[in-house]
């Protein structure tokens, strides 16, 4: 059964997060709160950990898995390029619930991209999620903490009841907002394409003067 680590969601204790980072560095699976739901995190550069993540989720390998990074500088290792429209979106909406689809760099396991060569990335606006990714120093997976096809979890207790036997640690940062997930926007296409409508939906400025 996974251990539970209670952390202040507004002012995360660095020394407590270090425990979670150590588990991630060793290939563990950690559940943590985000600005939408609880997410499942593994070190995205660790292929064995990624395989374990898919097993825990019961996720189809044809479905890609998004990641979060600690700050914009983390894009340098995760993507091959940042389109101009991406920089504009980052400036407007990061940190926040906007997942942008980029061309993935070679360090990203193909399992996470579902063989597409593309990876969804965001900088989370939740203090715990953002600091956890920053301290890990590597992209951190951010798929929702639930079995595939089941309801997303908004509390650590729900995660424990649904996945506790398969996780190494659950970070209890209190209840998350729930509701909609992050918006997913593919910026490898021109014009960008909304793949999932979520919390953010005001992208009219992207299409001014274009036939969409």
> What is residue 143's predicted lDDT score, i.e. its pLDDT?
97
Counted domains in the chain: 1
Is 89 within the bounds of a domain?
Answer: no
Closest of 5, 1, 3, 2 to residue 174, by C-alpha = 5
H or E element at residue 20? helix 14-25
> What is residue 1's predicted lDDT score, i.e. its pLDDT?
84
Is 209 within the bounds of a domain?
Answer: no
Integer Cα distance of 152 and 80 in angstroms: 31
> What is residue 212's predicted lDDT score, i.e. its pLDDT?
43
| Domain residue limits at 113 | 3-70+108-178
Q: What is the mean pLDDT of residues 79-108?
A: 97
Is 45 within the bounds of a domain?
Answer: yes
Mean pLDDT (the chain) is 95
Q: What are phi and psi of 148, to 5 degrees?
A: -55, 130
Query: What is the length of the chain?
Result: 212
CA 3 to the chain's CA centroid:
21
Is 196 within the bounds of a domain?
Answer: no
Is 189 within the bounds of a domain?
Answer: no
| Token pair 């560095």: residue | 25
> What is residue 201's predicted lDDT score, i.e. its pLDDT?
86
Q: What are the residues whose beta carbons fall under 8 Å from the beta carbon of 52, sequence distance 6 or more?
A: 27, 29, 42
102 - beta bridge partners?
119
Is 118 within the bounds of a domain?
Answer: yes
| Token pair 């998350």: residue | 176
Q: Are 163 and 45 in contact (CB under 8 A)?
A: no
| Token pair 């504009």: residue | 88
Q: What are phi and psi of 65, to 5 degrees?
A: -125, 130
Is 113 within the bounds of a domain?
Answer: yes
What percent of the chain is predicted at pLDDT more than 90?
A: 92
- Quote the pTM value: 0.94
pLDDT tens-digit readout, 130-146: 999 999 999 999 999 99
Is 202 within the bounds of a domain?
Answer: no
Q: Specify the CATH number for the domain of residue 129.
A: 3.90.870.10
């Amino acid at each position: 059964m996974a251990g539970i680590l209670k952390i202040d969601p507004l002012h995360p204790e660095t020394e407590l997060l270090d425990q979670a980072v150590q588990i991630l560095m060793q290939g563990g699976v950690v559940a943590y709160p985000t600005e939408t739901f609880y997410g499942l995190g593994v070190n995205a550069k660790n292929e064995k950990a990624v395989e374990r993540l898919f097993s825990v989720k019961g996720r189809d390998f044809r479905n890609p898995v998004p990641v979060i990074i600690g700050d914009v500088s983390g894009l340098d290792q995760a993507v091959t390029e940042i389109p101009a429209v991406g920089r504009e979106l980052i400036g407007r909406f990061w940190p926040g619930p906007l997942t942008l689809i980029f061309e993935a760099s070679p360090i990203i396991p193909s399992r996470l991209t579902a063989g597409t060569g593309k990876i969804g990335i965001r900088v989370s606006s939740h203090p715990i999620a953002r600091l956890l990714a920053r301290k890990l120093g590597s992209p951190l997976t951010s798929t929702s903490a639930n079995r595939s096809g089941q309801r997303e979890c908004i509390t650590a207790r729900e995660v424990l009841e649904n996945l506790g036997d398969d996780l190494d640690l659950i970070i209890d940062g209190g209840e998350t907002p729930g509701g909609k997930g992050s918006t997913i926007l593919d910026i490898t296409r021109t014009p960008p394409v909304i793949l999932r409508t979520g919390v953010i939906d005001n992208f009219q400025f992207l299409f001014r003067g274009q036939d969409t």
